[in-house]
Amino acid sequence: MSVIACSRQLTIYSQWMTELSTLYRPVGQAEFDLVRASGFQSFPPRLPHQPIFYPVLSEHYATQIARDWNRKDKTSGFVGYVLRFCVRTEFLANYEIHTVGSSVHQEYWIPAEPLAEIK
């Protein structure tokens, strides 16, 4: 999966105008290190016990997860980071937004297989 730096909502790819959506991903130390090793260009493949990728729609929600879950979790290295990234809005149209708490707790549930399509 390619992660697009998103300082603006529109960018040009091969002379095509592509609309982008900004998403957030709370991560622990190990996932952060893998994203950093990619030059902040991609997320690592999902592990067999992690068949779903859960990007969230708000920085507030991602911060809650990073602070309240990742920082208390040994497998996260007791740290939490929030990564902001952009994906093609066209790609996200294939997936529903799930509200998993209050109205600010919104996320996508994207199966691991199509992650390579996010560019």
Q: What is the pLDDT of residues 34-93, one digit of tens each?
A: 999 999 988 998 888 889 999 999 999 999 999 999 888 888 889 999 999 999 999 999
The reply to whether the predicted model has a pTM over 0.85 is no
What is the pLDDT confidence band of residue 113, given thresholds at 50, 70 and 90? confident
When comparing pLDDT for 65 and 5, which is higher? Answer: 65
Q: What is the pLDDT of residues 22-47, one digit of tens each?
A: 999 999 999 999 999 999 988 998 88
Q: How far apart are CA 63 and CA 45, in angstroms?
A: 22
Do residues 95 and 21 touch, judged by C-beta distance below 8 A? no
For the segment(s) 10-117, the CATH number from 3.20.170, 3.30.70, 3.10.450, 2.30.30 is 3.20.170
Domain map of the chain by residue range?
Answer: 10-117
